């Protein structure tokens, strides 16, 4: 399952998502979109958190309150980072992620270090994490509804197949990603 959150710090609200584990992160790395921005705690293990930018957003000029939401969510989903103060969260466009067969599951690098930005997080802000956790959805149905699709067994079995099959309305889950 992919976890979905909603940040209300933008209008319209922003969709944020992350993989449940390193294996799911692999799928997210493969199926990202140009409007996705990847977030991770720098130099520590953490969740891969993605922002699906709303129309008109620019990756290197995101609203400060939205950046704070994302940084707090990443920190809260890092076993080591969650326990530490003064951590750095890095972020970059999905298109800047680099992955090759020699890398460990869930591991990524960057095509260009110049396209990696940093956010400093002094301490965990529970009110932000709690607000985001109240919006957490752990279901593919959420994605299906956002793509105007119905979730059914055939679709669920075909979640990440990169193929040409069509569902009513011309939607297929891999088309969402």
Over residues 7-51, the pLDDT tens digits come to 999 999 999 999 888 888 888 888 889 999 999 999 999 999 999
Instruction: Specify the pLDDT at position 158.
Output: 52
Same domain, 103 and 159: no
Same domain, 78 and 6: yes
Instruction: Specify the pLDDT at position 176.
Output: 45
- How many domains would you assign to the chain? 2
Same domain, 118 and 32: yes
Band of pLDDT at residue 140, cut at 50, 70 and 90: low
Mean pLDDT of the region 158-170: 49
Domain extent at residue 157 = 150-176
Instruction: Specify the pLDDT at position 177.
Output: 43
- Do the bridges between strand 97-98 and strand 109-110 make them parallel or antiparallel, or are there none, so unpaired? antiparallel
Same domain, 162 and 79: no
Rounded to whole angstroms, the Cα distance separating 91 from 169 reads: 34
Which of the residue ranges 22-26, 31-35, 70-74, 163-167 has the most confident prediction, judged by mean pLDDT? 70-74
Mean pLDDT of the region 138-153: 53
- Element (DSSP H or E) covering residue 40: strand 36-41
């Amino acid at each position: 399952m992919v976890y979905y959150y909603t940040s209300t710090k933008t209008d319209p609200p922003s969709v944020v998502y992350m993989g449940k584990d390193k294996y799911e992160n692999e799928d997210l790395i493969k199926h990202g979109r140009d409007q996705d921005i990847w977030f991770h705690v720098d130099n520590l293990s953490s969740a891969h958190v993605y922002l699906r930018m709303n129309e008109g957003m620019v990756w290197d000029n995101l609203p400060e309150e939205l950046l704070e939401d994302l940084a707090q969510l990443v920190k809260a989903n890092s076993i080591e980072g969650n326990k530490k103060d003064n951590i750095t969260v890095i972020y970059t466009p999905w298109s800047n992620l680099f992955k090759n067969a020699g890398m460990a599951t869930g591991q990524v690098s960057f095509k260009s270090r110049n396209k990696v930005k940093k956010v400093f997080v002094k301490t965990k802000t529970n009110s932000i994490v709690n607000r985001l956790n109240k919006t957490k959805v752990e279901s593919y149905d959420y994605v299906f509804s956002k793509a105007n699709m119905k979730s059914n067994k055939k679709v669920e079995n075909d979640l990440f197949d990169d193929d040409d099959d069509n569902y009513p309305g011309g939607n297929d889950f891999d088309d969402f990603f």
